[in-house]
Every structure is written in C-alpha cells, then in structure tokens.
Amino acid sequence: MDRMKTLLSMLVLSVLMVLGSLVPVRADENDFDAFLENEYRNYMHSEYLEFHFGVKDYKSFGIEKPEPRMPKFSYEEFTESARRLQTSLDRLHQFDYASLNETQQHDYLIYEAYLTDSIASVNYPDYSECYNPYTGDYSNLITLMTEFIPYDKERAEDYLSLTADFPRALSEMNEFTKQQAAKGYFMRDDALDEQLKKMQEFIDKGEENPLIVIYGKHIDEMAELSAEEKEQFRQRNHDLVVNSVYPAIQNAMSVLESLRSSRSVSGSLYEYEDGREYYETLAARKCSDSNSLEEKRDYLAKCLKDLMDYAFTHIGDTKSTIDSFQTPEEVLSWLGGHMEDFPAGPEIRYTPSYLDPSVAVPTTMAYYMQTPIDNLTDNVIRINADAVKGDPNTLYYTLAHEGLPGHMYQFTWYYAQNPNPLRHALNCIGYTEGWAQYVERIMLLRSPLSTEDSDFFAVNVYIGYIAQSYADILVNGFGYNAAQLSAALSACGLDMGEQNAAPFVETVTDAPGQILPYGYGLCRMWEFNERVHKSLGSAFDAEDFHRQILTYGARPFDLVESDLKKYVEGKGAEFVTDFKLFEMSATRNIRGAIVGFITRHLILFMIGAVLLLILLLWLLFLLIRGIIRRITGKKPRKKKKGSEETVSADEAQNGGQEQ
C-alpha cells in the first residue's frame, strides 16, 4: 500500500509539473528577476572563458567558478547545448509576460529571442567552422588568450591551466573538422591558405609570441607575487607555449592541409542541401530581427538605392584627410569632447593599442573588449594596423565605432544603469554593430574635416557595408553569381561590373553573415532616426532619441521599433512608416556645408566684411555731408586749377549747390 501511495504521489507530481510547464506562472517581480539571475550564474559556471571575461569579483555574485578549461568541440556538445538552451526557454515560458513590469518585459522578450536564435543555430553543427580564418573558433581563442588579464594569483594559475588545455581543444577541433569535411563541409582553398598563413606567422613569433610576452608583462605587474614567483610563472607559461601549444598548432596545420579541397560545393552556402535553411537562421541572428530573407533583401536594396541617390545629389568628389591627430589617444580625446546629443555616461578609462600582426584577423579593423560586469572603468580597444593602413580618416571613424560614442560608450552607458546581470551575457549583434556604425557618420560630421568631406567619406564607407551586406544575402540566400550580383547592384545605382563583383562573391562565401550586422544594422538605426525625426518634425530631440535607443540595451530591432512607436505616440504624433535614407539630414547637411565653407574661408570673409563696412561707412558719410550742406546752404569748396578756383558747368548752372 505504501509503495502504491508513493507511485501515485509521483504520478500526481508529474502531472503538476507538466501543467506547470504549460500554464504561465503569475509570479511577482522578485521571482522573475531571481530566475534571470540564476540563469546568469548557471551561464557563468558553464564556460570558463565566458566566466573570466564576464565577471571579476565572482564571489560577490554568488557564482561558482568553473574548471579552467578550453571549450569542448564535438557534435555531442552541440546536442547538449541545444538541450540546455531549450530547458532555459521552457523555464522562461513558465512566467506570465503580462504580469511583469516594463523592464522585465523587455528582458523577457530579449532573452526569448536570444534563446530561440541560439537553438536554431546549434541545430546546424556542420556549418560551425573551427578554423575559418575570419570567424573561426581558433582565431577567437587566440584573441581571448592574448586579452586574458590575471587579476590575481588564482587567475594567473587559471591562465596556465587554459594554456595547458589548448592542445586538447585543438585535437577536438581537428577531429570535429575532419568529420565535417568527410560530409563535404569545409572552407575554400583560398580561405585555407589564409588560415595556414596566420597559424605559421603565430608560430614564427617564437620567443616574442604574444602569449609569452603579454602574459609576462601581466605577471611583472602583480605586486602580490615575489620575484621568484614571477619568474616561475613566466617560465611555466613559456614552456607550455613552446613545448605544447606550438606542436599542437603545427599538427592542426597538417590536418587542415590534408583536408584541402574537401568542400563538396564550389560556391556559397546556397549550394548545400540545407544551406539556405541554415543561412536564414544565421541572418536572423546577425541582423537582430524577424524579417524573412526576402524582406531583408528588398530592404537592403531600397537602402542602397536611397544612399546612392543621396550620394549623387549631395556628395562631391572631395578627398581631404584629417591631419589633426597623431595617436589613437588624441582621436579619442577629440571624440570625447564632441559628445553633444548623447546622454552622459559613467566616468571611464581606456587603453587603445595596436594588435600584434600575428594575432590580427585580416577582416577585423579593431575591436573593443567588453568589460566585466563589475569593472566598467577599465576599457581596452585594439587596432589592426594593417587594416587601418595608416589612414587618419579610417582611424578616426574606427575609434568612433569602437570607442566614443560607439561600443565603449554604448556598453558602459547601459550597464551603468544596473540592469539584470544576465543582460551582460546576452548578445544582439545587429543592434550593437548597427549603433556603432550609425554613430560613425555623426562623429565624422563633427571631425576637423569640412562637412562636404566628412559626408563624402562617411557615405562611401556606408555604401561599401550596405552593398556587401546586400551581396551576402543575394549570394548565400539566393545563389547569385557575379553576373547576377553585378546586375542587382547596378539596379540600385552602383555600377561595378561583373569583374569587380566577383571578389564580393568570394568574400561573402568565405565569411557568410559576417558583414550583415554592420550593413543591415546601420540601415535600421538610420531608418529609426529618419522616421522619428519625420514624425516629430521641429520637436525632434537628438539626445532624447538616443536615450530611447540606449535605455533597454541591446535588443532585437522589432523591439526597438516598438519602443520608438510608443515614444513618438506619447508625444502626440504618429510614428510614420515610410522613410528615405538621409532624407531628413540632407537639409541639415546643406546648412552645415554652408557653415563649413564659411569657416574654412573665414579670413577672406572677414576681409571682405571689413571692406564692405568701410564702403558703407564712406557712402553714409557722403550722404550725411550732402544732407548737412543742403540744410546749412554751405557751398562745397571749389576745386583749384593751378592758382585759380574753378567750378564745374553743373555747379555753375545750379548756383554751385550740391544735389
């Protein structure tokens, strides 16, 4: 009987658990916040590198430190990730959305979108390229290791554990890549050559390898260590890099070379059997919105055409160069002094520096290292010197993108508002890159360049990003070749010819989706600017608009649009849906161009103004003198010719009185 009662109780409990997963729980605010905080702690505990770069004082957050190991790479790991993500999504759905406050509703929708997109992505493990030279796990791991800051002796030991585990991670990546290649999923030979080149350069650094040099500098700066301990840490790391990491990389290179030409298709993702389905999930995640591929395609076509129309109408062929700054620090100082129309953020410090070429990803111009949630003060920006190519204009807009008012400002401003800690771990790349791209043009228009030159440079940069994003979708989502792509770009006003379109096809084939957050994101941000400005007219306030964009942090564009609609309607206006890129800013730019022209030729204008004033004063003097003489009847002095006084015929006729 007791056994029967136990079984019956378990059956009832099971039924209640099932019902609990189907019926939303009307929880109070603390319950939902506690759920998200627990999700954050679980997330931080699941992966060491996420943990290290996510939080500094982990004990204050109640986080259990994970074992310092590199990530795992296998088909089984993808399956387990999908299970964990689905469990979190099911738990989230147990909450009654309507019972949450406004901030929590945003957190709910953002987490839901993150989990949904992540689940869709991990269902396609064959497309996860560990060794892709532009987006692969290998390059990301090297970057994270060079950016690892050992805050204390414990973290210094953790770093050595990670370095010791690096060969295991590469071995799993090799096996996983071989399994993919056996099914025809592998990079093109040109991309393979690029990857092998970067790996060899990394090994060739020898004793000057960043993994040795950078870690050694961090150890030297640790006051808690004795001189003997510092030497021991440096030597242990050196031996691990030379004796373990280098051989593991060389072995990986041999494996990759043996897989050369394993790719079963000659073109893009579209040619794979499930390539288009995968690309839809990729584009949704990269663009941060729910629009279909067809809608994204048409949207980018419209934006590119708008931009080309603007360029033909408002942009001249000017190519001036910013020559006011010599260092990244000087650029950031200027940018920080021109933050009008952006809400004030927290006090921060930042350290910009150039990357070692051996760890620089070719397509990455720079990157901002997001700070731990409890250390917003110290910020790091790395610059790829090869990508910037010594061009001051490129350096300027790159630092606006990564620094002020780009990523560094964007992240620190939002996290200073003390959101739920889980938000720090979530990514919404279309939004974040869209914002950073959006502010580039604003800050270029505030640069020492003239308005015409600034807009010329900004618009040309934007054309490149939007055109490549458009190409990405056409090639990977619809199977376009170079000829078809050339025709599509030409229809938008960008005539480049089939020969010049071919490199676009190769680029987006090697790194599908990589450029989408930049091109698509900047279009959405400028679209919102245009629509809100058009809706509010003279009541448009740029700082208030930016505050609306920033307040709820990185989120899907569908949610940003909903927030802005509520904002506009709250001001008694209708949120318009139609827009034309830069339509509202065209008038402002023309006015700015006039001001800029006057500023550049200020001395000439001042001389002209002085001469005009002198002329006006002289004419006024003559007028007043004439009036006085008319009133007083005083005759003008007669001109002398030699020693004789003479008058003109007119003066004689009029009795010598001046008209």
Query: Averaged over 455-482, what is the pLDDT?
Result: 97
Reduced 3-state DSSP string for 229-284: HHHHHHHHHHHHHHHHHHHHHHHHHHHHHHCCCCCCCCCCHHHCCCHHHHHHHHHH
Using CB atoms within 10 Å of the CB of residue 644, give its burial: 0 to 12 exposed, 13 to 18 middle, 19+ buried: exposed
Integer Cα distance of 582 and 487 in angstroms: 25
Residue 6 is assigned to a structural domain of this protein: no
Q: Which among 178, 140, 158, 149 has a CA at the least distance from the CA of 255?
A: 178
Identify the pLDDT of residue 481.
98
Spatial neighbors of 124 by CB under 8 A, at least 6 apart, are: 274, 277, 278, 281
Query: Averaged over 300-322, what is the pLDDT?
Result: 92
Give the residue with greater pLDDT, 3 vs 464.
464
Q: What torsion do the CA atoms of 306, 311, 314, 316 make, to the nearest 10 degrees? A: 180
Residue 480 is assigned to a structural domain of this protein: yes
Identify the pLDDT of residue 262.
98
Q: Residue 627: pLDDT band by 50, 70, 90 thresholds?
A: confident
450 and 589, same structural domain? yes
262 and 366, same structural domain? no
415 and 348, same structural domain? yes
256 and 337, same structural domain? no
Q: What is the pLDDT of residues 14-47, one digit of tens each?
A: 322 232 333 344 456 689 999 999 999 999 999 9
Identify the pLDDT of residue 211.
97
Integer Cα distance of 267 and 464 in angstroms: 22
593 and 606, same structural domain? no
Q: What is the pLDDT of residues 413-456, one digit of tens each?
A: 999 999 999 999 999 999 999 999 999 999 999 999 999 999 99
Q: Is the pLDDT of residue 311 over 90?
A: yes
Residue 515 is assigned to a structural domain of this protein: yes
Structure tokens at 595: 């001001």
Q: Buried (b) or exposed (e) across 560-574, using 16+ Cβ within 10 A?
A: bbebbbebbeeeebe
Integer Cα distance of 220 and 360 in angstroms: 25
Residue 304 is assigned to a structural domain of this protein: no
Q: Buried (b) or exposed (e) across 75-102, using 16+ Cβ within 10 A?
A: eeebeebbebbeebbeebbebeeebbee
Contact indicator for 134, 361 with CB cutoff of 8 Å: yes
Spatial neighbors of 140 by CB under 8 A, at least 6 apart, are: none
Q: Residue 605: pLDDT band by 50, 70, 90 thresholds?
A: low
**Domain end (from 276, 310, 338):** 276
DSSP 8-class letter at 381: E
Distance of CA 248 to the CA centre of its chain: 33
584 and 489, same structural domain? yes
What DSSP line would sit under 151-191, residue for residue? -SHHHHHHHHHHHHHHHHHHHHHHHHHHHHHHTT----HHH
Q: Which among 36, 68, 41 has a CA at the least distance from the CA of 52?
A: 68
- Opening angle at CA 604, ends 602 and 608, nearest 5: 115
Identify the pLDDT of residue 258.
98
226 and 179, same structural domain? yes
Q: Residue 636: pLDDT band by 50, 70, 90 thresholds?
A: low
115 and 57, same structural domain? yes
Average pLDDT, the chain: 89
Tell me which H or E stretch contains 368: strand 366-369
Residue 336 domain boundaries = 328-597
Integer Cα distance of 137 and 130 in angstroms: 5
Contact indicator for 492, 474 with CB cutoff of 8 Å: no
Half-sphere exposure of 549 (CA within 13 A, CB side): 27
Identify the pLDDT of residue 16.
27
Structure tokens at 625: 């003198």
Identify the pLDDT of residue 618.
79
Alpha helix (H) residue ranges in 479-601: 482-491, 497-510, 516-536, 542-550, 557-570, 583-600
Q: What percent of the chain has pLDDT over 70?
A: 88
Q: What is the pLDDT of residues 351-360, one digit of tens each?
A: 999 999 889 9
Query: Averaged over 58-78, what is the pLDDT?
Result: 97
**Domain end (from 276, 311, 338):** 276
Identify the pLDDT of residue 9.
33
Identify the pLDDT of residue 609.
77
Contact indicator for 519, 300 with CB cutoff of 8 Å: yes
Phi-psi region at 62: left, alpha or beta (left = phi > 0; alpha = psi -120 to 50):
left
Identify the pLDDT of residue 654.
36
Identify the pLDDT of residue 624.
82
Q: What is the pLDDT of residues 118-142, one digit of tens each?
A: 999 999 999 999 999 999 999 999 9
Identify the pLDDT of residue 635.
59
CA distances from 344 to 348, 432, 489 (A): 12, 18, 40
Q: What is the pLDDT of residues 170-186, one digit of tens each?
A: 999 999 999 999 999 99
Total of domains in the chain: 3
Q: Is the pLDDT of residue 259 over 50?
A: yes
379 and 253, same structural domain? no
Residue 289 is assigned to a structural domain of this protein: no
Q: Return the number of other C-beta atoms located less than 10 Å from residue 610's C-beta.
A: 10
Q: Which among 121, 108, 99, 96 has a CA at the least distance from the CA of 25?
A: 96
Identify the pLDDT of residue 340.
97
Integer Cα distance of 412 and 402 in angstroms: 12
Q: Residue 614: pLDDT band by 50, 70, 90 thresholds?
A: confident
**Domain end (from 276, 295, 316):** 276
614 and 476, same structural domain? no
Residue 14 is assigned to a structural domain of this protein: no
Residue 63 is assigned to a structural domain of this protein: yes
451 and 374, same structural domain? yes
Residue 264 is assigned to a structural domain of this protein: yes
pTM for the whole structure = 0.86
Give the residue with greater pLDDT, 3 vs 609.
609
Integer Cα distance of 390 and 547 in angstroms: 34
150 and 32, same structural domain? yes
Q: What is the pLDDT of residues 347-402, one digit of tens each?
A: 999 999 999 988 998 889 999 999 999 999 999 999 999 998 789 999 999 999 99
